[in-house]
Amino acid sequence: MKAITELALVIGCASLGALATWKIAGPPSRVVACDPATLSPEEICLATVQAEWPEGSFLWVDARPAADWKRNGIAGSIPVTLGGDTSFDEQIEASLEKLGTAQRVLVYCGSAGCGTSKEVAKRIRDLGFIPEVRALHGGWDALTQAGLVKDSSPAS
């Protein structure tokens, strides 16, 4: 019984400390931090895109599941994902008109932890006909935090 009382006391003190910290400092930051110096060469920060890539100078590629793209994909984007019923090659073929004229492609997926955008970007880059293909660091989370998209999406 003494162990249960001590455990309850420790949990109570920890909870009060956490609550006090929350009240004083506010909720934890969920900002997608992006330091260009720490990114791999195939990734890019949203701030860099906004500063250096003029609007309309690149094609958005949505690497989330097709249902997410249909629900809230960026206007003008194309869906290219690695899962689902349609193969990568079929998706590329269906989007060849837009891809064929793109000089830059920016691939995003569902969250900061999603690796799908990097893989899709690599596969598109390996096709060899688009000069610059990058994966957006932070994906949908970065877009949401920047206010560029309004609806949230489950991480994919």
- pTM of the prediction? 0.77
CATH number at residue 127: 3.40.250.10
Q: What is d(CA 5, CA 51) in angstroms, rounded to the nearest whole number?
A: 57
Residues 47 and 106 grouped into a single domain: yes
Residues 128 and 104 in one domain: yes
- The string of pLDDT tens digits covering residues 115-133 is 899 999 999 999 999 999 9
Per the domain annotation, does 155 fall within a domain? no
| pLDDT on residue 153 | 45
Other C-beta atoms lying within 10 Å of the C-beta of residue 58: 18
| 105 and 133 belong to one structural domain | yes
DSSP line for the chain: -HHHHHHHHHHHHHHHHHHHHHHHH-SPP------GGGS-TTEE-HHHHHHHS-TTSSEEEE-S-HHHHHHHPPTT-EE--SSSSS-HHHHHHHTHHHHTT-SEEEEE-SSTT--HHHHHHHHHHHH---SEEEEETTHHHHHHHTTS--S-----
Higher-confidence position of 140 and 30: 140
Type of residue at 35: D
Shared domain for 49 and 109, answered yes or no, is yes
Q: What is the pLDDT of residues 18-33, one digit of tens each?
A: 777 767 766 665 566 8
What range does the domain containing 17 cover? 1-30
